[in-house]
Amino acid sequence: MISNQNYRGLIASPLSLAANLLLVDPGGLGGMHCKARVSPWRTAFLQQYLSRAESIGPVVALASHADERSLIGGVDWAASLRQGLACFEAGVLGRVNKGVLKVGMADRLNLTMAGLIAQAMDQGALPPTLGRDDAGCASGSDLSFACLLLDEALDEENAAPGLLCCRLAFWISEDNLLNQPLSMLSSADLSRARGFLRRCSMPGFAYTALSEAALTFGVDDLRAAQFALRAFRALLALARALDPQAREALDHEEALGAVAALVFGPRATRLPNSAEAALHQDQGSKGELPPADTGVDQRQAARDDQHQGRLRPDEARKREALAPELDGEQLQAATRSTAQTATRSATNSATNSAEASDDQPAISSQDESAQDGPRGVEQVLALAVAAAQALLPPGLLASGALAAAALSGSVSSGRSTTRSKAGLRGRSLGVREGLPGPRTRLHVLATIRAAVPWQGLRERSSKDALMRIERSDLRIHRYEQRDQLTTVFVVDASGSAALHRLAEVKGAVELLLAQCYVRRDQVAVIAFRLDQAQLLLPATRSLTRAKRQLAALPGGGGTPLASALALTTKLMLQWRRQGQRIQAIVLSDGKANIDLEGKPGRRKAMLDAQHQARMLARLTHRASRLVWVDTAPRPSSDAQSMAQLMGASYMLLPYANAQGLAALAS
């Protein structure tokens, strides 16, 4: 066991561990996804980390408005025109070699940029620029850098592009590492460690231990295991740099446990405590359970664990704090399937919450067992699981389907791209006078054409330049970019006909998605029942995802129409900010009986709903199309007046069927 204080500090603090390891092997570890809003903590962290990083290599920030050209470099127009030669300037990636690329507001990073950064990381070279084959990497050698993604997203839906996040070893967030002490090692130690990086011998069981740990945490991505291995190697190098005698004294199990927790913890898709049980279950059934079901099973398993007192006390407290959410979740999950199971699970969850409070004083037996247990792989697992408790994604306990938590991380596809309207792409609309800038492109031929008539009048500045071009000659491209259409179905899932209606909406969603690849349209589903509305399917264009998330739909209960309309308004405003056209199709008989606060009472509920309908009309009437589909057997005055308030067109479709709805939407 190394007693060096710096080393002990590293092992004890995941944040310090991540930050220091990243400086030892920036290229190999890819970088860090830091999910935190601007706060004193984040500022202090960045300051400490970046000041150390600066002593090692360049730190280059990517501006939030940066475009493709400023990322990978391109033609320097001013110089080109001045000299009559095509002049190139290096982009951000050309300047970041062996350093840190700091991407602020990564949640707004569009896919194109993320794709280019990922490509540069994968290939160790700049993506080729037009007109220059050598890619223009300053030294022409391998390009390697660490990427620091500062993600300020409030929800999973708008997080930084998944294709970039999965290429970064460390995911930290303010939820799990807030207030952690950060200690950076000295530059001398770090650079010594970099020297040892290639000369560390790896204990044989490290591969097995890390592979096992990845499975235990349910981390499928093979990159994660590689990252853990590289992190372990960097930690070995660091240990040697800190303490030359480290080779004998180093506790490999402890080190492996720390890196496994650091890399796999935030990526976990299952609770490691119940992982063993889940594994056996999977093997037993010889088939993959649908994600929603596994989610329920694992929560159940987690509860069982808790029941048996295997959790640490702080964990149990945390769980208890989440208990109300869990119960809500449990209810939803249960009602998703059928009415019978609903009643059964409701009683279950009631008993469970009772158990949870009973279990609070439970004492952990895990630590003792870890000490007595056999050395090697098992110990690494135990250590990793213990160390990862604080690092698990907060959604893992609270959110419904565990698979969905993993999913939403990968699905967030930086939809904000649509906002850039002028664009450098799209169908050409011709040329207009103007200056080329980050969002516009020079039309060379038109510019030359505009300049030609004036040449006789202008003095030649140098012999080389064939023509003299002035500001007024510059012409830029105009491109048209088609808007995206987002269709949102707002479905009344209350009452007895709910299941049928939801099934038809599900069919319509799938038909729409199957038809609209070409238009790249998106579909979302809001369902309202019990005491509030819920976004069942966030806007997506993936049929696969829609199928998965709509696999089991909840139905029955009251009619919180006001809540549904409020949610619709909120989402429509959000989508409109992203530059999308929206159409909303409401399926309901308009008979609200739950008010905005979720309390029953028909009069207040109707008033609330009417108010929300007016708001919806006022806030979203432009660039959106609203349809009210009346699902009552006979035309109902409630629905008609509601449609009128909303400014929606009214349709009577008592037996709403999938084809009819899809036709209505397209």
Partner 1 sequence: MKHVYPFAALVGQDDMKQALLIAAIDPLIGGVLVFGDRGTGKSTAVRSLAALLPPMQAVKSCPYQCDPKDRATICPHCKRLRKPQAVTVPVPVVDLPLGATEDRVLGALDLQKALREGVKAFEPGLLAKAHRGFLYVDEVNLLEDHLVDLLLDVAASGENLIEREGLSLRHPARFVLVGSGNPEEGELRPQLLDRFGLSIDVRTPKDLETRLEVLKRRDAFDQDPSAFCDHYESQQQALKALIVSARASLASVALPNEVMRYIAQLCMKLGTDGLRGELGLMRAARVLTAMRAQSVTSIQEVIDVAPSVLSHRLRRDPLEESASASVIARALRDMPSASAQAH
Which residue number, 305 or 521, has a Cβ lying nearer to partner 1?
521
- Is the CB of residue 260 less than 8 Å from the CB of residue 380? yes
**Residue 538: strand, helix, or coil:** strand
293 binds partner 1 (CB under 8 A): no
Q: Which stretch binds partner 1 (CB under 8 A): 51-59, 344-352, 440-448, 559-567?
A: 440-448
Instruction: Give min distance, CB of 506 to partner 1, in A.
Output: 9
Which residue number, 386 or 411, has a Cβ lying nearer to partner 1?
411
579 binds partner 1 (CB under 8 A): no
547 binds partner 1 (CB under 8 A): yes
Which residue number, 166 or 639, has a Cβ lying nearer to partner 1?
166
In angstroms, rounded to a whole number, what is the distance separating the alpha carbons of residues 464 and 275?
72
Instruction: Give min distance, CB of 580 to partner 1, in A.
Output: 15
172 binds partner 1 (CB under 8 A): no
CA-nearest of 525, 603, 505 to 562 is 603
In angstroms, rounded to a whole number, what is the distance separating the alpha carbons of residues 23 and 297?
41
326 binds partner 1 (CB under 8 A): no
Q: Which stretch binds partner 1 (CB under 8 A): 146-154, 386-394, 541-549, 629-637?
A: 541-549
Specify the long-range contacts of residues 531-537, CB closer than 8 Å, at least 24 apart: 531/557, 531/558, 531/560, 531/563, 531/594, 531/598, 531/599, 532/560, 532/563, 532/594, 532/598, 533/490, 533/560, 533/563, 533/564, 533/566, 533/567, 533/568, 534/332, 534/567, 535/567, 535/571, 536/491, 537/509
Burial per residue of 381-420, b for 16 or more beta-carbon CB atoms within 10 angstroms, e otherwise: bbbbbbbbbbbbbebbbebbbbbbbbbbbebbbbbbbbeb
Binding mask 466-505 for partner 1 (x = CB under 8 A): xx--------------x-----------------------
207 binds partner 1 (CB under 8 A): yes
Q: Which stretch binds partner 1 (CB under 8 A): 13-21, 73-81, 622-630, 634-642?
A: 73-81
Return the biggest CA–CA distance within the chain.
Answer: 93
Which residue number, 76 or 531, has a Cβ lying nearer to partner 1?
76
Which residue number, 247 or 621, has a Cβ lying nearer to partner 1?
247
CA-nearest of 463, 492, 468 to 562 is 492
Instruction: Give min distance, CB of 86 to partner 1, in A.
Output: 4
User: Which of 182, 323, 411, 535 touches partner 1 by CB under 8 A?
Assistant: 411
Instruction: Give min distance, CB of 291 to partner 1, in A.
Output: 12
User: Which of 313, 507, 557, 579 touches partner 1 by CB under 8 A?
Assistant: 507
User: Which of 172, 260, 511, 646 touches partner 1 by CB under 8 A?
Assistant: 511
For partner 1, the binding residues in 20-59 under the rule CB under 8 A are: 28
543 binds partner 1 (CB under 8 A): yes
Tokens 């439970």 sit on residue: 362
Instruction: Give min distance, CB of 223 to partner 1, in A.
Output: 4
Q: Within 10 A of 58 (CB to CB), how many other CB atoms are there?
A: 14
In angstroms, rounded to a whole number, what is the distance separating the alpha carbons of residues 433 and 473?
7
Q: What one-letter code names the amino acid at 378?
A: E
* Angstrom distances, CA of residue 506 to CA of 229, 313, 582: 44, 43, 19
Instruction: Give min distance, CB of 508 to partner 1, in A.
Output: 10
Instruction: Give min distance, CB of 384 to partner 1, in A.
Output: 15
H/E segment holding residue 43: helix 40-54
236 binds partner 1 (CB under 8 A): no
517 binds partner 1 (CB under 8 A): yes
Q: Which distant-in-sequence residues (6+ apart) come within 8 Å of 155 by Cβ? A: none
Which residue number, 37 or 520, has a Cβ lying nearer to partner 1?
520
66 binds partner 1 (CB under 8 A): no
In this structure, what are the phi and psi dihedrals at residue 353, rounded to the nearest 5 degrees?
-65, -30
Instruction: Give min distance, CB of 52 to partner 1, in A.
Output: 24
Q: What one-letter code names the amino acid at 524?
A: A
651 binds partner 1 (CB under 8 A): no
In angstroms, rounded to a whole number, what is the distance separating the alpha carbons of residues 658 and 366?
53
226 binds partner 1 (CB under 8 A): yes
Q: Give how many residues touch partner 1 by CB under 8 A.
A: 78
For partner 1, the binding residues in 450-469 under the rule CB under 8 A are: 464, 466-467
User: Which of 9, 57, 58, 115 touches partner 1 by CB under 8 A?
Assistant: 115
130 binds partner 1 (CB under 8 A): yes
Which residue number, 321 or 514, has a Cβ lying nearer to partner 1?
514
User: Which of 122, 134, 155, 470 touches partner 1 by CB under 8 A?
Assistant: 122
84 binds partner 1 (CB under 8 A): yes
Which residue number, 393 or 558, has a Cβ lying nearer to partner 1?
393
Which residue number, 40 or 284, has a Cβ lying nearer to partner 1?
284
The gap from C-alpha 412 to its chain's centroid, in whole angstroms, comes to 4
Binding mask 413-432 for partner 1 (x = CB under 8 A): x----------xxxxx----
123 binds partner 1 (CB under 8 A): yes
**Residue 655: strand, helix, or coil:** coil
Tokens of 365: 């037996």
Tokens of 291: 């994600």
289 binds partner 1 (CB under 8 A): no
443 binds partner 1 (CB under 8 A): yes
Q: What is the DSSP string of 215-284?
A: HHTT---HHHHHHHHHHHHHHHHHHHHH-TTHHHH--HHHHHHHHHHHHHGGG-SS-HHHHHHHHHHHHH
User: Which of 14, 127, 136, 558 touches partner 1 by CB under 8 A?
Assistant: 127
Which sign, positive or negative, has the C-alpha torsion 28, 10, 232, 156?
negative
- Is the CB of residue 101 less than 8 Å from the CB of residue 92? yes
Q: What one-letter code names the amino acid at 402?
A: L
Which sign, positive or negative, has the C-alpha torsion 448, 454, 456, 459?
negative
User: Which of 210, 380, 616, 648 touches partner 1 by CB under 8 A?
Assistant: 210
**Residue 68: strand, helix, or coil:** helix
Q: Which stretch binds partner 1 (CB under 8 A): 55-63, 186-194, 212-220, 326-334?
A: 212-220
448 binds partner 1 (CB under 8 A): yes
Q: Within 10 A of 197 (CB to CB), how many other CB atoms are there?
A: 18
